[in-house]
A and B are shown apart, each in its own frame.
Chain A
Amino acid sequence: MNIICLVKFVPDITGFGYDYEASSMVRNHTRMVLNPDDVCALSFAFKVKERHPDSQIQVVSMGPTTVVPHMHDLLRIPVDKGTLISDPLFAGSDTYATSEVLGSYLKTQSFDCILSGSRSLDGATSQVPPQIAEILSLDHMLDISEIDVEKISPTEAVFSVEGERETTTWSMQLPGVLSLGRSSTCKLPYPSYADLQRDVSDKLTILTNKELGLDPSHVGLEGSLTKVVNTYDANSRRRAKTVVETNEEGIEFVFSYLKDRGFV
């Protein structure tokens, strides 16, 4: 199988604080990590490769060149080929402009299947994968919980989508775009110690607009149809603080708090 994985490196929000007074995120420990949903997409690509060793995996990402060490890490796992689309012209692209850029590159590639995550940690709009499918005139499915690795072939994929009430099983003709949801069980393979030192720069292509040749007014801030008005951390709402003692009462309080929210 010939698989393309669309991946994005996102700020690691676990290192963020939230400044309630200024209502803004404190990003002083910012570092980039592979978007968790994309880990699941790539991890599935490796499962396919394990079964069909002649499969090829290409990882495609759009972002700043600071993510090059992360792309190199993926190439050491090893992903067969990496493509980083990076140009200051593209900075500030909204999901529409991003899809235009990625789509223009993907049109030049041959593949059986495009895998992606369903949503990114930093934007969570889920708009890029369906827009890309549209540009490429392919079918698309979002929030896939599992793709059947035994049944996938260059012409068909069978997968499950978890809804609120039930899990449905689907099949789709390939080529198509399949977007996986996050699961804590997804893991990427480890590079070997020797591979960690290996120079993989020849497997990474960095493309700018010089190669893609898009009209500058269709990309970046200028080409964006939407603008970000405000960003907030979805998890950081100010809550009343309750301090409990480490006694029976305190333990009971914490236990029922967790129980009410379905954690235990």
Chain B
Amino acid sequence: MNNEKIIEQLKTMLEPTQINTNSEDLYDASADRYKKYAKARNVLDVPAPLAIVYPYTPEQVRDLLVFCNTNLINVIPRAGKTATEGGLENWKEQTLVIDALHLDSIINIDTYNMQATVQAGVPLQVLEDALRKEGFTTGHSPQSKPVAKLGGLVATRSIGQFSTLYGAIEDMVVGLECVFPDGHISKIKNVPRRSGGPDIRHIAIGNEGTLCYITEVTVKMFKIYPENNKFYGYLIKDVDTGIKILREVMANGFRPSVARTYSEEDAAQHFYHFHKNKCVLLFMAEGPKGIVKATGEAIEQAVEKFKDGIIEQVDSKHIENWFNNLNWSQQDIDDEFEGMKEHDSHSGFTTEISADWSTITKIYYNVMKRVKEEYPRFHDLTMLGGHSSHSYINGTNMYFVYNYDIHCAPEDEMRVYHHPMQRIIVEETLRLGGSMCHHHGIGKFRNEWTKQEHGSAYYMLEKLKEAFDPNGIMNFGTIFPQEEGKKYQ
């Protein structure tokens, strides 16, 4: 079917206001934040989608998916547009972006059963504000909270800053509704638990728009006690000390909402007012008074146990203030984009990985060593460091952060700077048995390692794709490697 015909057909299915073919919006829709520098410089090398469509109901999503499936048109599901790994980048000449803009209702806030049901296009901040009015929280607080929407947050297996207490999105979703390319609408009911075979929520959670379109989500709610919050901060000798203290607190059975260790370099850019060129360890304890007290004591005991690595305690006000200003608004995102039009530099690029306690620092130090020895643009790096910000009973994550000056054409930035850096991080992580993607998803630029990430279990992932998206119309190139897409990588 040719492009005109596709648009004509869409007009028979939707109102004119639900179909956007504005060229600027299509250019914007052709890539996400992965290629934001090239996008800002107007040199994107990928095709623009044919249209962005805004369905009002799950049934309209169904009709659109069936239409695309029948005519082999690529579909990119879209929510808050904060994707960082190329999940929203388009690699096909004929693509429809299905945007959750009008799937924006909060369906139910059930304070007795402690669960809230929303459509996929509800911004997390909107739900959080509604819950706060009633004294509750979703417990989910990614830095992109003001902008990201529930559909995207579930589709990427996102994680929030208070995850060590509340868990990540997969711990919060109790049920959901999703639509498959053949038009089938599945609703997974909201129950506290069940043993009805494999947990099918996980087919939708983290699918990154490659298997189904999520239209509705039910998440848990938690009581909030902001008046009890306690903050702890320390300057420490090295990353090792920080990781050991995080482990001590977790292994002893405590769950601070925030538990983080920063390398000197990363600490210097976050905590300019107190870092003194040292590593930083910080915690936040929240919840009912007794829990906060017990958690605080456990933190202090762990710090005492490793006191040889502690340089000094930091005023807890500094930590509290820092947390209160951490999230990114749409304005911050827009300002960064504008800045990229002028400045030949990139700040805050990241690759996030995870591993067990005994492996995480090995990965960290190996990466630092390899980057220094092998990275061809080392002399352009203005910062390289990392932090651990999400801990579990058996391990933690490492968020590598790097800034660099750009001395190449804007369209080459990713393959000259970020990708070679990411390659070193991913290779070291996979070699030592960690996961190459802790919370941003695989997107389109880590797909060359998807098979290695899953090993023999890739079989299961591949079968899901074959079963639910046999025509391969869902988000071509995301998660699953594609030969045809390599030219854009």
Contacts and interface: CB of A to CB of B under 8 A. Distances in A.
B463 interface: no
A198 interface: no
A196 B412 contact: yes
B416 A193 contact: yes
A29 B379 contact: no
Contacts of A70: 379
A15 interface: yes
Interface in A163-221: 187-188, 190-193, 196
Interface string A37-67: 0000000000000000000000000000000
B277 A28 contact: yes
B415 interface: yes
B268 interface: yes
Interface stretch (B31-39, B83-91, B402-410, B478-486): B402-410
| B: interface residue count bin | 10 to 19
A28 B383 CA distance: 11
B382 A193 contact: no
A192 B295 CA distance: 55
Interface residues of A, number: 20
Contacts of A17: 268, 277
B381 interface: yes
Contacts of A12: 382
Contacts of B405: 33
A26 interface: yes
Contacts of A193: 408-409, 412, 415-416
A27 B277 CA distance: 10
Contacts, number: 41
A26 B277 contact: yes
A107 B453 CA distance: 61
Interface string B388-418: 0000000000000000010111101001100
Q: Which of B268, B344, B381, B407 has the most CB of A within 10 A?
A: B407
A190 B382 contact: no
A123 interface: no
Contact of B407 (A29, A32, A191): A191
Nearest to A184: B342
A17 B412 CA distance: 32
Contacts of A247: none
Contacts of B416: 193, 196
A14 interface: yes
Contacts of B408: 190-191, 193, 196
4 nearest A-B residue pairs (beta carbon): A193-B412, A190-B409, A69-B379, A190-B408
